[in-house]
């Protein structure tokens, strides 16, 4: 039996790649370049450049929330998404992409509506969900998307 490989996590602060041992909580991981925490327990805002690096180089678990400030359902789901980021911080990272500020970055997903959540695992899209979800449904979706045990 071979040991699991360490995923490559892109630092949300400086964009540098980092390896974190799979058995270690993500909140304990620090960037080797800038010493920032790799998982803060809060959603991190993405730019187009950071998104590109994340999608091409990152092999960890993360969720991207595609949203816009004018979107009522997006604003309604935001507290649940923030709560999920804190709850799952040791296992999954959470990012937000403002589709109004970064329309070209958002266009690559070909989404039809917002909010849209996209889960990535091991460098591949694991799940996609459009529409706002209440906290229990959001937690359940995250657990199923990544094969996590219900907490």
Q: What angle do CA 37, 89, 22 make, to 5 degrees?
A: 80
Neighbours of 145 (CB within 10 A): 21
DSSP for 13-71, please give it.
Answer: TT--EEE--TTS-GGG-B-TTT--BS--SS-EE--HHHHHHHHHH--S-EEEEEE-TT-
**β-bridge mates for residue 22, sequence order:** none
Q: What burial class does residue 40 get, using C-beta atoms within 10 Å of its C-beta: 0-12 exposed, 13-18 middle, 19+ buried? A: middle
Which residues carry out catalysis?
Answer: 71, 74
């Amino acid at each position: 039996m071979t040991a699991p490989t360490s995923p490559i996590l892109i630092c949300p602060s400086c964009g540098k790649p980092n390896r974190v041992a799979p058995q270690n909580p993500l909140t304990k991981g620090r960037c080797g370049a800038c010493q920032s925490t790799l998982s803060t327990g809060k959603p991190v805002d993405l730019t187009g450049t950071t998104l590109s690096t994340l999608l091409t180089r990152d092999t960890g678990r993360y969720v991207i929330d595609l949203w816009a400030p004018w979107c009522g359902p997006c604003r309604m789901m935001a507290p649940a998404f923030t709560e999920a980021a804190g709850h799952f911080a040791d296992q999954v990272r959470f990012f937000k992409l403002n589709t109004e500020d970064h329309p070209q970055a958002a266009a690559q997903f070909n989404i039809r509506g917002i909010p849209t959540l996209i889960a990535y695992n091991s460098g591949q899209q694991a799940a996609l969900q459009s529409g706002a979800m209440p906290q229990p449904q959001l937690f359940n979706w995250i657990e199923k998307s990544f094969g996590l045990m219900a907490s």
